[in-house]
Chains A and B, each alone.
Chain A
């Protein structure tokens, strides 16, 4: 990881002091105290204007299905399935400063795990949700073992990207060659390049008949709720002592270490959180469309989360979330009108963002707003 020069425009001054303060007098927070952490130094958007906007956005998202047809709602739910992976990458890359290119490895692993579990055991008694938890747990265990080698080997930024990318590409190659009938786990055929199909969607056990969540309005609400919960939960995490230490490590790993933090443990923690969320995305994606292919771990799939998070603004959860939904929507619209140019536009978007708005477009716009306001205030006085 590079030093402070890497984040030239950020505000490093506030960071180590925040970590130091928390360590100085470790306040025991109650439940409400913990909830208050949704507002903190590591997240943009704190004031009443922001939270009113947040409530309005939630309400709009809540009534949206009343004004749209089932297909569109299901499609929006599809966008939601990806946001978990994006927010997880924001924690790893944006907050902890460790660029992982291999989030799709966890995405694919969990997706396949969900498929194998539900095809073999079925969807009765709400087992699909148990499969969800197990598959995400598998991603977490995989992240723990891979992350142990990476972070405890003190792999620095650039290498981390390469190794994680290599892992996901090798997983793709492996899954792509499982076409033969000998590649089956129980009743679940892995099916090589064509991918695995036929797993049940998420199913809620209900007296008088289970409710299968096909891509429609109920699934939309479930994913919307999960997305908001995940967003608020991660805001609490990044504003907690743990999150402050992550930012301190991003800004200057050596200084964080001198202050007495075992940076390897914190980075591993962030990696596990982010990778589990990538796994969650994988399960939800698989359950949404009832299929998963090796392509979901390939080079292009691996590039996509990077694009969403970089374009939106990786160092803030709100910017990441808005950016992800925006880029997904733009990408889909492009695909409809000229599929072959979509990837070119993606690449160009990435290049332009890195060159001209290195902190991301959304944060760039937010910065511009703040600058204008300061300018106006100075003009008045």
Chain B
């Protein structure tokens, strides 16, 4: 009995960590800029590739993951300057443009680096409860997901950048009139979102096969979490990840991996019918 409860909790935690890490970057870019970044999966791929390359070059794992996140973040800032900035007032077109970027990035990686890249093994080994064994690394990922949410909360509520960024999304013209350089805030925000995607890629790189299309393994879950969560990272993404992780763990326990995904999708379609502005819109109702 106890081992099977633990198995469920582990699956729940694993799904929660995956959803939070996969969605955080997407949610920040969407919540702060109203842009849906369809190249999100490619930022994840970029982070994973750089992490693995750095780890193979001899860097310790945490430093390699930081390199991956940094690389994705820099690419994100450059793309924001070149493309996204011109499209901020046309939200539908940003989807199309980022999709174009995503096609170029996936296929470009395939051409330059080939169809697959040798990976690195999952560190830390495993432990067992009852008859099942569990990866220590995945437990670590759960802790990182929680720490990431706390860190983001501090970043957006306790730092000068966070205050300026929130001012910029609330009333851009007023923030600009008060001397906030909104263009820089947007670039930084997009960069942070991209870096978080890179971080997700780096963290999951040891557990996955490195292929140019690996980003697609993340995007459905990331999208779904953002749709259910709505515009706010803390009041949206986090509770959405809890709810969806529960649904997913339940469905996986009963029917298997694929039905976890289908369960997620059904949950989303029902949630958006009931709460069109997502969980954060529902939690914040009447406050605006």
A contact residues vs B (CB 8 Å cutoff): 2, 5-6, 8, 97, 99, 101, 146, 149-150, 152-155, 157-159, 161-163, 165-167, 169-170, 173-174, 177, 299-300, 303, 306, 310, 340-341, 343-344, 346-351, 354-355, 358
Contact = CB atoms under 8 A, between A and B. Distances in A.
B103 A170 contact: no
B258 A150 contact: no
B126 interface: no
20 contacts: A6-B89, A6-B92, A97-B92, A153-B273, A155-B276, A162-B226, A163-B269, A166-B227, A167-B265, A169-B219, A173-B258, A174-B262, A303-B99, A306-B99, A347-B100, A347-B102, A348-B100, A350-B96, A350-B103, A351-B101
A157 B223 contact: no
Interface of B: 30, 34, 36, 83, 86-87, 89-93, 95-97, 99-108, 110-111, 213, 216, 219-220, 223-224, 226-227, 258, 261-262, 265, 268-270, 272-274, 276
Nearest to B97: A354
Contact of A344 (B90, B108, B270): B108
A187 B81 CA distance: 55
Contacts of B93: 354, 358
Given A340-B107, A347-B101, A162 B36 contact: yes
B interface SS class: helix
A338 B257 CA distance: 37
B220 A170 contact: yes
B272 A150 contact: yes
A270 to B, nearest CB: 15
A341 B107 CA distance: 8
Nearest to B258: A177
Contacts of A8: 89
Contacts of B91: 2, 6, 157-158
Given A161-B95, A173-B261, A174-B258, 10 more contacts: A6-B92, A150-B272, A158-B34, A163-B227, A166-B224, A166-B265, A306-B96, A341-B111, A347-B107, A349-B100
A50 B223 CA distance: 44
